[in-house]
């Protein structure tokens, strides 16, 4: 059954799906009055029935059949140093499928890519669209928020907003005695939000690691192998899902 997110406030059991989603329902799926879809509004997925097609969009009526939530029990925000090429596209898509709550890109010391202020807004919108499509595909009830990239100093200011903050540090992975991520996860069962920070290609710098640790950020190892910038977030989200779900 097709799933569509709506932002507009609904009138009791009635709602209108507009824009690209309305076009998808009418022109791509060729649905008719009486067909059922899943409508997601304010984090709740409800089986709904199509009532009418108008210029405003597709009018639907919600039923009492509410779908169970597939969301992780803890809100996980991924902060990643800006990577090269289209790696951010992959991170957004796959991290959404794995339960990411939000993505916070930042300009790390070793980031080769610099965010273009003029083109940045369009790129952010494109990434948000990727997140929406991935959320629909994976039957999420929340579309991850793709934040505008921040500087490292701005990232430091956001650290206190989370119940726990982890830094995936490749230097820790090189040690004989590594800080096991599984052990750290067992300490955050009662937390509501965590931030996991990843460096770009080349990793996080020692200066950045020291600054983060000074704010209480805990370094973690993702095993003895060094993972690519686009692989590490997926590893972390998979580990969190395994531990919590």
Q: What are the two backbone dihedrals, phi and then psi, of residue 143, each rounded to the nearest 5 degrees?
A: -95, 120
Overall average pLDDT of the 14-19 stretch = 90
Q: Please check whether residues 236 and 133 belong to one and the same domain.
A: yes
Task: Tell me, yes or no, whether 62 and 111 share the same domain.
Answer: no
The continuous run of DSSP H or E covering 210 comes out as helix 206-213
Which of 66, 95, 111 is where one domain is finished?
A: 66
Same domain, 59 and 94: no
- Clarify whether residues 37 and 137 are in a common domain: no
Query: Are 182 and 118 found together in one domain?
Result: yes
pLDDT at 54: 93
> Average per-residue pLDDT in the chain?
91
Q: Do 88 and 61 belong to one domain?
A: no
Residue 115 and residue 182 share a domain: yes
Q: What are the tens digits of pLDDT across the range 63-80? A: 989 999 999 999 999 999
pTM score, whole prediction: 0.90
Query: Do residues 59 and 153 both lie within one domain?
Result: no
Q: Structurally, how many domains does the chain consist of?
A: 2
CATH, residue 11 = 2.40.240.20
Produce one character per residue of 120-147: b if its CB has 16 or more CB atoms within 10 Å, e if not: eeebbeebbebbbebbbeeebbbbbebb
Q: Within this chain, do residues 237 and 120 fall inside the same structural domain, yes or no?
A: yes
Out of 41, 66, 91, a domain closes at 66
What is residue 138's predicted lDDT score, i.e. its pLDDT? 95
pLDDT band at 180 (very low <50, low <70, confident <90, very high): confident
Is the domain of 61 the same as that of 102? no
State whether 128 and 234 are in the same domain: yes
Residues 29 and 88 in one domain: no
CATH of the domain at 199: 3.40.1280.10
- Asked whether residue 8 carries a pLDDT value surpassing 80, the answer given is no
Among residues 18, 41, 66, the one where a domain terminates is 66
Q: Torsion angle, CA of 42/127/55/48, rounded to 10 degrees? A: -40
The helix (H) or strand (E) run that includes residue 144 is: none
Residues 193-243 pLDDT 10s: 999 999 999 889 999 999 999 999 998 888 888 889 999 999 999 999 999
- DSSP state for residue 8 in the 8-state scheme: S
Q: Which domain holds residue 52?
A: 3-66
Q: For residues 61 and 244, give the distance between their C-alpha atoms in angstroms, rounded to a whole number.
A: 34
Residue 11 vs residue 5, higher pLDDT: 5
């Amino acid at each position: 059954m097709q799933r569509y997110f709506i932002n507009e406030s609904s009138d009791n059991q009635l709602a209108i799906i507009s824009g690209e989603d309305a076009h998808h329902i009418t022109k791509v799926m060729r649905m008719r009055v009486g067909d059922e879809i899943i409508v997601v509004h304010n984090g709740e997925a409800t089986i709904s029935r199509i009532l009418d097609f108008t210029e405003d969009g597709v009018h639907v009526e919600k039923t009492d059949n509410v779908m169970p939530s597939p969301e992780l029990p803890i809100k996980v925000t991924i902060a990643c140093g800006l990577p090269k090429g289209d790696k951010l596209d992959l991170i957004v898509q796959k991290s959404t499928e794995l339960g990411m709550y939000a993505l916070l890109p930042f300009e790390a010391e070793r980031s080769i890519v610099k965010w273009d202020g003029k083109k940045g807004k369009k790129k952010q919108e494109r990434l948000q669209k990727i997140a929406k499509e991935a959320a629909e595909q994976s039957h999420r009830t929340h579309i991850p928020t793709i934040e505008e990239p921040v500087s490292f100093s701005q990232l430091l200011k956001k650290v206190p907003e989370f119940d726990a903050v982890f830094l995936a540090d490749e230097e820790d992975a090189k040690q004989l005695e590594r800080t096991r991520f599984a052990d750290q996860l067992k300490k955050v069962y009662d937390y509501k939000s965590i931030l996991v920070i990843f460096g770009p290609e080349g990793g996080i710098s020692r200066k950045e690691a020291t600054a983060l640790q000074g704010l209480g950020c805990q370094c973690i190892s993702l095993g003895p192998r060094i993972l690519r910038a686009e692989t590490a977030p997926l590893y972390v989200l998979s580990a969190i899902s395994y531990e919590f779900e």
